[in-house]
Amino acid sequence: IVAVGHGTAALLLRSRRAPAFRGPVESRTLLETMDHLVTWHDGNGHVLEASPAAVTLLGLPPDALRGRGLFSRVHVCDRPAFLRAIGEAAVGASPAVVRVRLHAGPDSAVEAGERGGRKASRVLWVETRAHRIETPRPGAAAPAVIAVTRDISEHRQREEELEEARRQAEEADLSKGRLLAAVAGELRAPLNAIVGAADMLAVESAEGPESCKRRRQAATIGASARNLLDLADALGDLAAIGTRTVELALEPLDVAALVNSCCDLMGARAQAAGVVLSCSVVPGLPELVADGRACRRILLNLIASAMAFTPRGGQARVGAARDGDRIVLTVSNTGLGVARSDLPRLGEAFFRATQVPGDRDGHGLGLAAVRGLVGLHRGTITVEGASGEGTSVAV
């Protein structure tokens, strides 16, 4: 009980001898061995008696805390909270707990500290737990509240250090997000120009071996530039989500038109990759209320990922159906699949699933951006699959 500290106050209350601060030898001995300060207060909060721990905690004899001695050492900003806790304990059945700052040291140091002088007092953070005394001792100076005060300065310092570390981490995360957004924005324009020029070179009409070679090289340039453009888009989406700068413009969307337009945009890439891309939308779907751009980014990312991990001759399928009051968008493939042990981590930025034969490198940003955009819509995402059996993602 001595180790617990606050439990001592409950013991004294249960013994019904707590108000008699000239109590038995056992009670006085117990108080003398406690590191926590025990004080008895009247209904106005004045201290009637204090335990010997006043010397250890504040460097003062117990008599110095009587009357308004303890209150005068409470930090000016914390005094209302301290009085409120004592008052609540006096009239309430449950204990009142308050954290305040106390000035330790002689009165001259306290006065100088409050005036901003050179001889400033030592300031402690303490936690006070005040209990009501149910059977007060008869007399004019009958205590109404018993309070146990313990030093929490080290604990408070650790809390402040953790809060400062959290603040610095948030600032660093915001700075990283702004950098990613800037990089993504700067990359998009030149990459779009490269893609356009490569497409033009790839379809030139000249014949001959050199011309065919140039067309193949142009197609390679275009494919590489599109991969970089996908990366820039994913970085931009993640940066916007991380810095909380995404503003959803909710509007009614035609689900069939949304799915078909995304499949049309990815059709040429699927043909170049030798992947059969098909779409299947259940007829009569209601309108989907969501952000159109975000939904297109979700589908395009999922389709691009499905095709990237599907070998030539494989299939990628996009579907839409209704499930109660929600729309389910599904993208699946017959590709390399993912190990079941990796499924829970899919969607973490820069996470790469366990390599399987023929696997291609991936940065993991596409699905991470999808998870973020789905989360902003309060939607859900599930991933199913196994190594060599393809993957299915349902939003």
What's the whole-model pTM score? 0.51
Report residue 28's pLDDT band, with 50, 70 and 90 as the boundaries.
Answer: low
Weakest-pLDDT range from 6-15, 193-202, 264-273: 6-15
Q: For residue 227, what pLDDT is reported? A: 75
Residue 155 has pLDDT above 80, yes or no: yes
Q: What is the pLDDT of residues 34-77, one digit of tens each?
A: 789 999 998 788 999 999 999 989 989 999 999 999 999 999 99
Q: What is the pLDDT of residues 230-265, one digit of tens each?
A: 778 777 777 777 767 777 889 999 999 999 999 998
Helix (H) or strand (E) holding 337: none
Q: For residue 31, what pLDDT is reported? A: 67
Please enumerate in sequence order all residues whose Cβ is within 8 A of that of 265, keeping only pairs 6 or more positions apart, or say none: 300
To which residue do tokens 């751009």 refer? 293
What average pLDDT does this structure show over 343-371? 63
Q: Pull the structure tokens for residue 30.
A: 């117990």
- Highest mean pLDDT pick, 33-47, 195-209, 213-227: 33-47
Q: What is the pLDDT of residues 302-352, one digit of tens each?
A: 998 888 888 888 999 999 999 998 999 999 998 777 777 776 667 666 566
Q: For residue 365, what pLDDT is reported? A: 73
Report residue 291's pLDDT band, with 50, 70 and 90 as the boundaries.
Answer: very high
What average pLDDT does this structure show over 171-192? 77
Please enumerate in sequence order all residues whose Cβ is within 8 A of that of 322, keeping only pairs 6 or more positions apart, or say none: 282, 285, 286, 328
Distance, CA of 117 to CA of 106 (rounded, Å): 14
Residue 117 has pLDDT above 70, yes or no: no
Nearest CA-CA partner of 337 in 310, 368, 371, 302: 310
Let me know: does 128 contact 97? Beta carbons within 8 Å: yes
CA-based R_g, the chain, Å: 35
Let me know: does 86 contact 45? Beta carbons within 8 Å: yes
| Strands, E assignment, the chain | 37-41, 47-50, 96-104, 122-132, 145-151, 250-253, 276-281, 288-291, 315-323, 326-333, 382-385, 391-394
Our measurement of the distance from residue 383's CA atom to the centroid of its chain's CA atoms, rounded to an integer in Å, reads: 24
Distance, CA of 131 to CA of 147 (rounded, Å): 6
Q: Classify strands 288-291 and 276-281 as parallel, antiparallel or unpaired.
A: unpaired
| 265 against 178, higher pLDDT | 265
| 98 against 172, higher pLDDT | 98
* DSSP secondary structure letter of residue 135: S
What average pLDDT does this structure show over 271-286? 91
